[in-house]
Structure 1
Amino acid sequence: MASAKIKKGDNVVVLSGKDKGQTGTVTKVMPKEGKVIVEGVNVATRHRKPSQVNPQGGIERFAAPMPLGKVAVADPKTGKPTRVRFEEKDGKKVRVAVKSGETIDG
């Protein structure tokens, strides 16, 4: 898998699926699996039996991993999805939004 241009802490927009158009913050990136976990997006539920650790039991909701290709970095200026390119500024390699030319980090 190629190096991901999406990092933990990025604001991203979902491009397809049931959560299309939603935005959220990346909580975890799994580059080997090609997946990403976005806070509040792709929420799955599990019905848990009561146990010693969780005596109440109940329904557990959590953000499930989704493919990297279904999300794009949100442009810092407009909030719309954009591609990312790398540029060198002041001797540092930084990520830049293709649509607006804004620096994403650094």
Structure 2
Amino acid sequence: MIKKTIKKTHVHAGDIVRVISGNHRGAEGKVLRVIREKNQVLVEGVRMIKKHLRRSQELPKGDIIEKEGPLPISNVKLVEKAAAAASASANKGTKPSKTSKKPKAPKAEKSEKIAKPKKAASSKQEE
């Protein structure tokens, strides 16, 4: 079954969110990344998974690292917006002052409309 991707998400990177359902219910953290294609988010410190790295020249013994796993975006609730996003939305509805407005260019004069000839009635109606 193909899932529909959410066009507009309620959380963005940098927001503080709370997990509202699932095994990690009640946990809070900062959104690291929003994966829109899969309707998922990565929340800092929530759903930590272990990834095993195989041996290589850089890691001769291999390694086990912990990183955040994705959560469904529907399982998180916005607690606090990111500072940059909050300030941008606060200025959204403000109007510019009258002194800062650029003068409008005069509109071009409209030419007179030329009347189009009416279409002749079809021959079937005349019969």
Distance 2:7 2:46 in 1: 24
Q: Percent identity, aligned pairs only?
A: 29
CA RMSD in angstroms, aligned pairs only: 2.1
Distance 2:33 2:80 in 1: 20
User: Which has more strand, going by share of residues?
Assistant: 1
5+ residue gaps in structure 2? 1-5, 82-88, 96-127
1:90 has 2:94 as partner: yes
Could you state the TM-score of these two structures normalised by the residue count of structure 1? Answer: 0.67
Larger Rg: 1 or 2?
A: 2
Q: Size of the alignment, in residue pairs?
A: 82
Match of 1:101 in 2: none
User: Which has more helix, going by share of residues?
Assistant: 2
Describe the SS at the equivalent of 1:19: coil
Residue identity opposite 1:48 in structure 2:
L
Distance 1:51 1:75 in 2: 42
1:38 has 2:63 as partner: no
Describe the SS at the equivalent of 1:37: strand
5+ residue gaps in structure 1? 77-85, 92-106
Distance 1:90 1:30 in 2: 32
